[in-house]
Amino acid sequence: MTALTGPPRGQGASTRTHTPHLVLPALASWATALVLVGCSASTGACVALAALGAALPVVATTRAGGGTAWRGEGWRGAVLAVLVCVAAVAGVVALHVHAAGTGPVAELAGRRASATFEAVVTDDPRERVQRGGLSRRSSFVVPARVEMVRETPGSPGGRGSGVRLRASVILLASGEEWRSLLPSQRIAVRGRFETAEPGELLTAVVLVRGPPRVLGGPSWVQRVAGTLRAGLREASTVLPQDQRGLLPALVVGDMSQMDRQVKADFKQAGLSHLTAVSGANLAVVAGAAVALARITGLRLPLRAALAVLAMVFFTVVARPSPSVLRALLMGSVTALALGTGRSRDGFAALSVTVLGLILFDPVLARSYGSPPAASWCSRHAGGTGSPGGCPAGPRRRSPCPRRPRSPSPRCWS
């Protein structure tokens, strides 16, 4: 009888409404993070409380209706999912904004004080394009995480005491000593703290004085990744001068040796996206891993696991920029679906990926693929507009009122 009349009523409806119940919360979460990242922590907390308050009547209506919405039938389930996800994202954003705007580093930035501090490099130093001036030293933008700060006794209110913390900053430095730094290296430097722009979830921008004092080497994973990147750069030296930097850029997004004229040509031709690691690169890596696993006779779940491991390692080598993180998570979801034999609903997988990324790092809602240093350069520093330097670009306008702050440096060299 079931074969003649089709599947049960609840089962068919659940299959039809499964995708909207995930797509709508994902879109609402992305929009919430996009707006609230540029607002104050109190605004995010108010939005979270308002979303939770609006969800209570929906829950009450669902229970009064016999709980049908919990089985995916009706619009109440979708509305409830949207409100819960908005509340969760708003709460996470509020916590991030509060953490970035408070603490000893934020206090130093508010007073534009100088300090000696220890930091961990979180991404490769990105060289900035020089725009004239007397200094011919190479200057760099270095994303880092401050873990200990010792305020200079000569600063206003300085006591010379050390404080341990964790605060994300951007270091503006000059000198060739910065070029060879790798992520996870611990350094000690001196500099003046300046407030960062709202919407960046940075605690401060630091104008560094002098070279870094290296306190520790990179982790073994970053050491291997750095060796592979250096080997690729060395292997490309057999190519002509204007081409030798293109190979590392296309393979792992390493544009440190890319010719400036080639960068400008790529930008003018609208091909800058080719030098940004994305899903195409990870698809090649995952495909090669699956092919190798198939030749060796591994079962389907093991092939999927090998593909995920290969993509994770490639992400470490290519550096986890926003575009790489998105591609990694989508590739992992795809590999999991293929390994378990459940590859029917691509929109559901995409929605789960968006939700995970936004909750993990809300600033990804405003990132379109550039590494942190390049994103900061494109918003604040003057340059030629090439992907490898510090291009000039329009500032993103925050939808919320900007808090009073001292002027941050627009270009430092």
pLDDT score recorded for residue 237: 87
Report which residue type is found at 275. T
Residue 45 has pLDDT above 50, yes or no: yes
Which of 383 and 51 is assigned the larger pLDDT? Answer: 51
CA distance 244 to 217: 28
Residue 97 has pLDDT above 70, yes or no: yes
| Secondary structure class of 169 (helix, strand, coil) | strand
pLDDT score recorded for residue 388: 39
Residue 7 has pLDDT above 50, yes or no: no
| Secondary structure class of 69 (helix, strand, coil) | helix
Q: Choose among 174, 171, 170: nearest CA to 133.
A: 174
Asked whether 402 and 198 are in contact (CB, 8 A), the reply is yes
Reported in sequence order, the residue ranges of 203-289 that DSSP labels E, i.e. its strands, are: 204-216
| Percent of the chain scoring above 90 in pLDDT | 29
> What pLDDT, in 10s, does the model give residues 13-27?
444 445 567 788 889
Most confident of 5-14, 39-48, 237-246, 253-262: 39-48
Q: Choose among 379, 385, 370: nearest CA to 398.
A: 379
What tokens were used for 57?
A: 């009547």
> What pLDDT, in 10s, does the model give residues 132-180?
555 567 889 999 999 998 765 444 444 455 778 889 999 999 988 998 8
Asked whether 108 and 196 are in contact (CB, 8 A), the reply is no
pLDDT score recorded for residue 88: 94
Residue 376 has pLDDT above 70, yes or no: no
> What pLDDT, in 10s, does the model give residues 293-343?
999 888 888 999 999 999 999 999 988 888 888 888 888 888 887 777 766
Instruction: Spell out the residues 6+ positions from residue 312 whose beta carbon is closer than 8 angstroms to its own.
Output: 328
Most confident of 10-14, 66-70, 96-100, 338-342: 96-100
Q: Using the structure block, give the residue that is written with the tokens 């031709």.
A: 269
Asked whether 90 and 113 are in contact (CB, 8 A), the reply is no
pTM value? 0.74
Rg of the chain over CA atoms, in angstroms?
24
CA distance 107 to 278: 38
CA distance 323 to 385: 20
Q: Choose among 248, 253, 250: nearest CA to 232.
A: 248
Write the Ramachandran bin of 196: left for phi over 0, alpha for psi from -120 to 50, otherwise beta.
beta
How sure is the predictor about 395, in pLDDT bands with cuts at 50, 70 and 90?
very low
Report which residue type is found at 193. F
Mean per-residue pLDDT for 361-374? 69
CA distance 125 to 141: 6
What tokens were used for 148?
A: 């200990």
| Percent of the chain scoring above 70 in pLDDT | 75
Which of 342 and 77 is assigned the larger pLDDT? Answer: 77
Which of 346 and 183 is assigned the larger pLDDT? Answer: 183
Which of 399 and 276 is assigned the larger pLDDT? Answer: 276
pLDDT score recorded for residue 374: 52
CA distance 307 to 286: 5
Which of 64 and 303 is assigned the larger pLDDT? Answer: 303
Residue 118 has pLDDT above 90, yes or no: yes
Compute the half-sphere exposure of residue 21: CA atoms within 13 Å on the CB side of its CA.
18
Residue 275 has pLDDT above 70, yes or no: yes
Burial class (CB in 10 A: 0-12, 13-18, 19+), 53: exposed
Residue 226 has pLDDT above 80, yes or no: yes
